[in-house]
Structure 1
């Protein structure tokens, strides 16, 4: 008696057992929806509903192997043109801006565990991209790993504060978390200097400089950018840096088109990792989910912050076009 015949002898099942049975037959045994419906005496619509319920409850995981995205023509061209170690390019044809964003974030969440190793000290920036990436990440346990908060805290209206990003990511990776218990920016340079000299903060600042890998997204220089909405920069600050040639924001610092930090009124008042510690790392993972970040992403690539890039086809084409 084959497996399908055996299922027919079982009669009807209900509740979560039915969801599990249907999911097993469909995904593991390779049966089609029609045969499953006949085996259990249910409609095909019910089978579809059971499969959807299984996905929503997290009972099944559907993934595509990384080479499907890292060997993509555009991924290979990005590596060749920009000297990257690897690129992960997801398709985005026919997607809305939000759908495009989520595809890139989920792609980054799928690829990230493959890029990490026991003993890594992963420095993370802040923002919606990193926060949602952590939410999409499956639980892993990477031995002796530490996640480092690279920028101090800020009052953001969105919930994805720097400490929330690093803490959530550490929880997903089964890692220790080293948070930076200080504001991202102070009202005066003297106050910032005094705070950096505090033994607790001094030790934390020294700790975050031990990173060997970096996970980040870039910020834009638009008036509605996160650095503005979080209160790190004022309109006067933004105007100053734009006039000085700012092309984007990396870890709360304005950089020019070549990825160089721009001197200005904010630097002496900020608490966070020095920009020079973010270049030349063994791995810098940049996640770029939208065309609004093309200019800033180009700056990060030129500045030597990036070895690995996660993006979508539309952004990949825009990056290659911007490179000339």
Structure 2
């Protein structure tokens, strides 16, 4: 479904004005535009017959889902990618939306921490390359010793390359054999300096993994099936940079969380702009947990995942088993 940024802003403005009964000043603050722009968008929506008694547009359901996600999880902004049918692969649409958002959002002088995975790799063709002075990219997870396409370092350096910036990598395996090894690498091999870069991130761009896919080919060698089963028994629903967490967004009690060579979650939450991009049926519970774990400010997902998240959150609240996340 073809759409432009102007279309999205216009329909979002109309939705908030006519459905949510927000004032023009409130809408201007939410969308980051001037009040005059809001007045113009509302007039254009009426001229296009998108506003009658209800809002009529192909984007209406998408906007409804985006606003529901924003209000439910305290997000600054949500982007929902449409699907051709419920069983379609969500990654291409999510990747396209993510690539467009990153192209618009990245600025000179930014320091951006990045994760890894299929979704992030798929965003690269959709990122508009340009030169940004002083742009820095920090890979948040080790793994450069493994020569695979979905190596954490691969996305980090290609993302930095897209904006002609500098890249900082963690030159270790993603997971080491013991806490002692991790401490030695950090304290004696100069890694503390790289980890410290995460304390001053302007933005964070990450995806998450579902626990069902924790032993796919790009994770093999780091996590055994016995480990995966033990994590499931402890309530793990997914991982963020190999930090395994439960549906309530709490890190589970398992040794792998102490041996992973990635930046601590507490550090990640300090970034003012936290972008989480992910989707798919197997990641719904993990995404709910991530709303608390990382408290994203921006969520990019697909329409089916958005519906599942909202339905599951409502069911959890009704059953008294969940809690609302906030940014």
For Structure 1 versus Structure 2, the TM-score category normalised by the shorter chain is 0.7 to 0.9
Q: Is 1:77 paired with 2:17?
A: no
1:253 matched to which residue of 2? 243
CA distance in 2, matches of 1:198, 1:227: 31
Q: Is 1:65 paired with 2:56?
A: no
Q: SS at 2:143's partner residue? A: coil
CA distance in 2, matches of 1:156, 1:92: 34
Match of 1:185 among 165, 175, 182: 175
Could you list the runs of 5+ residues in structure 1 that have no partner in the other structure? 1-61
1:239 matched to which residue of 2? 229
The question of whether the paired residues in 1 share the 8 Å contact of 2:144 and 2:153 is answered with no
The question of whether the paired residues in 1 share the 8 Å contact of 2:238 and 2:245 is answered with yes
CA distance in 1, matches of 2:6, 2:280: 21
2:79 matched to which residue of 1? 88
Structure 2 vs 1, CA of residues 136 and 229 (structure 1 numbering), >3 Å: closer, same or farther? same
Q: SS at 2:107's partner residue? A: coil
Could you list the runs of 5+ residues in structure 2 that have no partner in the other structure? 13-62, 315-327
Structure 2 vs 1, CA of residues 85 and 227 (structure 1 numbering), >3 Å: closer, same or farther? farther
Which portions of structure 1, spanning 4 or more consecutive aligned residues, are displaced by more than 4 angstroms?
154-158, 223-228
The question of whether the paired residues in 2 share the 8 Å contact of 1:220 and 1:247 is answered with yes
Give runs of aligned pairs for residues 224-235 of structure 1, distance below 5 A.
Answer: 225-226=215-216, 229-235=219-225
The question of whether the paired residues in 2 share the 8 Å contact of 1:156 and 1:229 is answered with no
CA distance in 2, matches of 1:120, 1:191: 32
- The alpha carbon displacement at 1:76 in A equals 1.1
Give runs of aligned pairs for residues 1-324 of structure 1, distance below 5 A.
Answer: 64-65=4-5, 68=8, 71=12, 72-94=63-85, 97-98=88-89, 100-153=90-143, 159-222=149-212, 225-226=215-216, 229-324=219-314
- The alpha carbon displacement at 1:68 in A equals 2.1
Structure 2 vs 1, CA of residues 155 and 317 (structure 1 numbering), >3 Å: closer, same or farther? farther
CA distance in 1, matches of 2:310, 2:69: 7
CA distance in 1, matches of 2:105, 2:216: 27
Q: SS at 1:87's partner residue? A: strand
The question of whether the paired residues in 2 share the 8 Å contact of 1:124 and 1:215 is answered with yes
CA distance in 1, matches of 2:116, 2:216: 10
- The alpha carbon displacement at 1:116 in A equals 2.6
CA RMSD of aligned residues (A): 2.4
Residues 89-126 of structure 1 deviation map (CA, whole Å, 9 limit, x = unaligned): 1211337533x310110111011122333222111111
Q: SS at 2:212's partner residue? A: coil
Q: SS at 1:222's partner residue? A: helix
CA distance in 2, matches of 1:171, 1:264: 36
Q: Greater Rg, structure 1 or structure 2?
A: 1
The question of whether the paired residues in 2 share the 8 Å contact of 1:86 and 1:309 is answered with yes
Structure 2 vs 1, CA of residues 138 and 292 (structure 1 numbering), >3 Å: closer, same or farther? same
Residues 11-39 of structure 1 deviation map (CA, whole Å, 9 limit, x = unaligned): xxxxxxxxxxxxxxxxxxxxxxxxxxxxx
- The alpha carbon displacement at 1:132 in A equals 1.4
- The alpha carbon displacement at 1:66 in A equals 6.6
Q: How many residues align?
A: 262
